[in-house]
Amino acid sequence: ETGVTQSPTHLIKTRGQQVTLRCSSQSGHNTVSWYQQALGQGPQFIFQYYREEENGRGNFPPRFSGLQFPNYSSELNVNALELDDSALYLCASSAVGGGRTDTQYFGPGTRLTVL
Amino acid sequence: GDSVTQMEGPVTLSEEAFLTINCTYTATGYPSLFWYVQYPGEGLQLLLKATKADDKGSNKGFEATYRKETTSFHLEKGSVQVSDSAVYFCALISTSGTYKYIFGTGTRLKVLA
């Protein structure tokens, strides 16, 4: 069974640029959530996708957007990058479309640095 | 809104010492509770979970009990090892709107040989 994978591992961008991060969910999982983890902080929920539809969003501006594909892989797009967007971006997949007992499995993350 | 509060680190212990990392939560409804561990340069790994009051989650010698009366989910281990050095995150699944995870700020544990 393949776990959650993310690409790229590291990325350096300059302010104002756009970036796309990718995530492949664990086999059999149809729900993907994205989190931003700033240095020394806990992960913050960005949004969740279930069966290719956005299924909830945290307190992030519209320049953070996403997609989920028919194979349940996902992309996170960030436009007009700001210095504060520098963080570890984590993708997590789960099997049952959310729910109070749902367990999310995390990928290794993409480290984004904005200069 | 829902929130999780963890004790601040870093926590430094000698090998074979007893570990407690405190976690309390605020939530509407009855959330499930989790402990995740993050090793340097890696993502989060599920350590244990509990889905209802008085449940005890356990894994790899770690334990935590869901205490509804004190809204707590403290992590314990009887004898830590150097390999347990990592950052530990307490989390809950919010039952308000989307079922999203809400994490604490993390507690860094350093175990000395």
pLDDT in tens, B51-68: 999 999 999 999 999 999
What is the spatial distance between Cα A85 and Cα A80, in angstroms, rounded to a whole number?
10
* Alpha-carbon distance A15 to nearest alpha carbon in chain B (angstroms): 24
Residue in B49, B95, B104 nearest the CB of A103: B49
What is the spatial distance between Cα B66 and Cα B59, in angstroms, rounded to a whole number?
15
Check CB contact under 8 Å for B46 and A105.
Answer: yes
Residue in A48, A55, A106 nearest the CB of B43: A106
Pair of tokens at residue A85: 């967007």
Q: Please check the confidence at residue B45 and state whether its pLDDT lies above 90.
A: yes
Q: What is the pLDDT along chain A (115 residues), one digit of tens a residue?
A: 578 999 999 999 999 999 999 999 988 888 999 999 999 899 999 999 988 899 889 999 999 999 999 988 999 999 999 999 999 999 999 886 566 667 889 999 999 999 9
What is the spatial distance between Cα A92 and Cα A48, in angstroms, rounded to a whole number?
9
| Cα–Cα distances in angstroms (integers) from residue A98 to residues A94, A105, A112, B46, in the given order | 7, 12, 27, 16
Kindly compute the dihedral angle of the four CA atoms of residues A80, A17, A21, A107, in this order, to the nearest 10 degrees: -80
Binding-site residues on chain A for chain B (CB distance < 8 A): 4, 6, 33, 35, 40-45, 48, 55-58, 90, 92, 98-109
